[in-house]
Copies of this chain bind each other. A is one copy, B any other.
Amino acid sequence: MFAAPKKGKEALPGDIAPIGRHSSLGESAYATLKDSLIRGALQPGTKLTLRSVAQVLEVSTTPARDAITRLIGEGGLINAGPKTVIVPYLSLPDLDELTAIRLSLEGLAAEQATNHMTESDIHELETLQERINRGLDEARYTDVLDANKDFHFLIYRRSGMRRLVTIIESLWLRMGPAFNGLYPEFAQSRTGVSNHLWALRGLQDRDPAAVRAAIENDIRGGYRRLSSQLAAVGEQHGESNA
């Protein structure tokens, strides 16, 4: 049926080869769209068509199709009809589910990362935190959200668990659009700052449970703010699009 695995001597190229580069138009189209989604650049309900994506990304329909198909698979886009894909709305049940998964997975990642963090990692986190603080002071909310994302994922990546990080990304992908138009309201709050500081302290102390708790707290704080926003604004989209 399919080609059987190579049985040969399996010449391992020594110790290098964590490769995997895979640049193609489809790949970068996917990456670009995904980034837009995570950043909240696309409003929920925005309709994406094959040809419009192709045009914006300056590629043909084939790579655009690749990107859209993959994103639908991850839940970053959904089919709102046989020929209509849109950026999904985040309903309260959706947010509940996402949050529960995030608590599990980001908590796990944070825990696992704790004993892998280097001094320079921690220093980098502190730099990111400064950028967050400065962003809050100067009302540069996009910067705040970006730096916040970097802060979290720097930690998660140090878990050494690649698939885990990928899954967490797909969760953030789902949250992103909900922030659209909410930057000030959302980023203004400084509740997250103290959670980050607790996380930093836990990392320095090599205390996995403390780091996990800090991250979980951060997620819960975000949940509170987002859910009240959703309750206030988003009743018209009752159904879950998970």
Instruction: Tell me how far the C-beta of A66 lies from the nearest C-beta in chain B, rounded to whole angstroms.
Output: 6
Q: Cβ of A87: which chain B residues have Cβ within 8 Å of it?
A: 5
Question: Which residues on B sit within 8 Å (CB–CB) of A79?
Answer: 20, 22
Does A120 count as interface, using CB distance less than 8 angstroms? no
Name the segment of A97-105, A121-129, A203-211, A213-221 touching the other chain. Answer: A97-105
Which residues of B are found within 8 Å of A112, using beta-carbon distances? 100
Whether A3 pairs with B47 at a CB distance below 8 angstroms is yes
Q: How far is the CB of A178 from chain B (nearest CB, A)?
A: 13
Q: Name the distance in Å between A162's Cβ and chain B's nearest Cβ.
A: 4
**Known A73-B74, A163-B75; contact A2-B52, beta-carbon cutoff 8 A:** yes
User: Does A231 sit within 8 A of B, measured CB to CB?
Assistant: no
- Do residues B98 and A5 form an inter-chain contact, with CB atoms below 8 A? no
Minimum Cβ distance to chain B for residue A207 (Å): 19
Of chain B, the residue at the smallest CB distance from A12 is: B238
CA A52 – CA B69 in complex, angstroms?
21
Beyond A3-B52, A66-B69, whether A162 also contacts B45 by CB under 8 A is: no
Q: From residue A199, how far is it (CB to closest CB) to chain B in Å?
A: 19
A3 touches B46 (CB 8 A): yes
Is A43 positioned at the interface, with any CB of B under 8 Å from its CB? yes
Query: Which residues of the partner chain B approach A6 to less than 8 Å between Cβ atoms?
Result: 45
Q: Does B47 contact A2, Cβ atoms closer than 8 Å?
A: yes
Q: Digitize A98-117: 1 where CB-to-B-CB distance is under 8 Å, 0 elsewhere.
A: 10110011001000100000
Q: Which residues of B contact A98 (CB under 8 A)?
A: 163
A12-B238, A73-B73 known; A5+B105 contact, CB < 8 A: no
- Verify B86–A5 contact, CB threshold 8 A: yes
14 A-B pairs whose Cβ atoms sit less than 8 Å apart in the complex: A1-B52, A2-B56, A4-B43, A5-B45, A5-B87, A12-B238, A20-B78, A69-B70, A75-B166, A98-B163, A100-B164, A101-B164, A105-B105, A163-B174
Other A-B contacts than A101-B167, A105-B105, 8 sampled, CB-CB below 8 A, are A1-B52, A1-B56, A2-B42, A5-B44, A10-B236, A17-B239, A104-B104, A162-B240
